[in-house]
Structure 1
Amino acid sequence: MTDLVELEKRGVIAHLTLNSPGSLNALSDAMLDALKARFEELGADSSVKVVVLKGAGKVFCAGHDLKEMQRGREAEDKGRGYFTDLFTRCAEVMQMIPTLPQPVIAEVHGIATAAGCQLVASCDLAVAAEGTRFGVNGVNIGLFCSTPMVALTRAVPRKVAFEMLTTGEFISAERARAVGLVNRVVPHEELDAATNQLAETLAAKLGAAVKVGKRAFYEQIEMGLAEAYAHAGAVMTENMLYRDTAEGVQAFIEKRKPDWAE
């Protein structure tokens, strides 16, 4: 049986592939469960330093499975319980990404729409192929993308997010890069190589420093300025006391490669 979310390890880099091309990698109930299980697996795997998330087939991810959602209306409560559970579980999966110890890079092609765009916005970094389109298009069918809005408004400027949410229009990969939704845009044939190069750059850093830094990054964003500085200062103090950080600083001073224990 084919895994809905395939896992391939290339050394210290884990590649996760949404593997339901026939449904445009829709975030069905089963897909969300599979993605959650993979994130839990990788979160406990100290040998993995970077995670790459991609989609099989023609697109990255087309959002929720609308046919499955319509079937949820057949319940006695017209779907209220099902929809509540679906959006709660999806939110839990999205929130797992910033809490993973490893940086997560979205490798995006084709389209990333609605909850698929939410998935890109939730990742720490994103590399997109030229020609990729991004949208939160639910408003076009009468469903405002309220949960994708949470991740989107934390990734792009407010007016850009509101325009995307209310017009339902796509933006190009180049526009997505300009507004901060993705980091890099490359020719389609170079997408895998460019994403791997970025992943390898991150993987070459001291893993313990990246781990503590990622956690502090998301923690300080939610704080006021003074609290954020106090928290970040405490984190840096602890980081400076790591054996490998002391070695890294000394190696820089001595103009040599650090001898890290990791």
Structure 2
Amino acid sequence: MLFFVSYGCQSVASGQHVEVDPEVHASPGDSVVLPCKAIAGGTELTRVSWTYEDGGDRINIAVFHPTYGASFPDSPLRGRVSFTQGTLEDSSIEISNVKMSDEGLYTCEYAHYPSGNVQGTTKLIVQERPTSQPPTVTAGLSTSAVSRGPCMPIEMEVQAFPMGSVILRCNVLQAEALKVTQVTWLYEAKGGERASIAVFHPTFGQSFPDFPQFKGRLRFTQATLEESAIEITSMARSDEGKFICQFSTYPSGTLESTTTLTMRAPPIPCLQ
């Protein structure tokens, strides 16, 4: 038996979005399809990865790159997860022999250039099936970490003064072996929403997605696939938050590190 649900959309800048199903149900022993399609909106799709989260850290489970192909990093789903199409436009995955422990959040994340990373998340709910009901293949479609690995920030916390400037750095070890394909910086305000603010791709170069808060105040001071550094000028108290550096890699998936930025009161001038 095959089930489908209706579409919905998680829109982002310039018309890009990821189509996933918010919730899919399965029973132990089933095969389940988790759909994921990208609407590029005039941007370049450079890589896609799937991660699994059961309440703790995100685990990379599947990666597709147009040059290197499909990869399935070590995870509890290895050997049971596969791409149904294996293209950048349709990166749906199928999980076979579903287990109760497979329940959790599955995130499909596309690396775009020049707009950065866009993602959609599906919640997989696994329930025992009545004994009279045969196994099913479940699918749906609508719209909607990541491993820390060898990726690290130079500083986990940084402080800055109003109207000053700050440089945020991160690097990845063994970049050549990991086949890093793109570096993306994201900003997460106190509300928890993430937005891509800076992107580096070895072929397409540097990009600064349209994010009004940092417009004209952000630049790369170092832009390679091994090391990345961005500078923010004319700092304001509203710039406080988390800055996430993401390396899109093959075959390991997305590696990320986070630097927390806090603002300090301006120094009091000394009187002579």
TM-score range, shorter chain: under 0.3
Q: TM-score, normalised by structure 1?
A: 0.25
Larger % of helix: which? Answer: 1
Greater strand fraction, Structure 1 or Structure 2: 2
1 or 2 for the larger relative contact order (CA 8 Å, sep ≥6)?
2
TM-score normalised by L of structure 2? 0.25
